Amino acid sequence: DVKVTQSSRYLVKRTGEKVFLECVQDMDHENMFWYRQDPGLGLRLIYFSYDVKMKEKGDIPEGYSVSREKKERFSLILESASTNQTSMYLCASSPIPGQDTYGYTFGSGTRLTVV
């Protein structure tokens, strides 16, 4: 079964810490995405990548960065975590650059709490 795996289901971090959220997909997909999910706001795109070492800002990139050194892995980095980054983070991947009629495959999410 094809999968997008997020390394942690739950994380608790302190304000100011550097936080890494890891995502790995085994489908050889070109595109990978990071979203955050908040009640009443739905899913908002943070960053996406359409190839190794390529990255593009989404709608809410402030306070985040990403890394894609290998095709299967896409990391989200919170350089200095703040309480307003407490959220559910969802990683997704999709095949074929520029064509999304197959839909995205999502990971199970990482619920991050910043205290």
Partner 1 sequence: GNSVTQMEGPVTLSEEAFLTINCTYTATGYPSLFWYVQYPGEGLQLLLKATKADDKGSNKGFEATYRKETTSFHLEKGSVQVSDSAVYFCALSMNTGFQKLVFGTGTRLLVSP
Please tell me the distance from the alpha carbon of residue 33 to that of residue 84, in angstroms, as a whole number.
20
Q: Which of 1, 14, 84, 103: binder of partner 1 (CB under 8 A)? A: 103
Q: Is position 10 an interface residue for partner 1 (rule: CB under 8 A)? A: no
Q: Is position 45 an interface residue for partner 1 (rule: CB under 8 A)? A: yes
CB atoms within 10 A of CB 102: 10
Least Å distance between CB 13 and partner 1? Answer: 21
Q: Which of 43, 65, 77, 95: binder of partner 1 (CB under 8 A)? A: 43
Asked if 21 and 113 count as a contact pair (C-beta separation under 8 A), the reply is no
Pairing of strands 56-57, 42-49: antiparallel
Residues 58-77 within binding reach of partner 1 (CB under 8 A): 58
Least Å distance between CB 36 and partner 1? Answer: 11
Least Å distance between CB 16 and partner 1? Answer: 29
Q: Is position 24 an interface residue for partner 1 (rule: CB under 8 A)? A: no
Which positions ≥6 away from 5 have C-beta within 8 Å?
23, 24, 25, 26, 107
Q: Which two tokens stand for residue 19?
A: 């936080």
Q: Is the dihedral of CA 28, 43, 12, 19 positive or negative?
A: positive
Least Å distance between CB 11 and partner 1? Answer: 15
Q: Which of 17, 26, 28, 100: binder of partner 1 (CB under 8 A)? A: 100
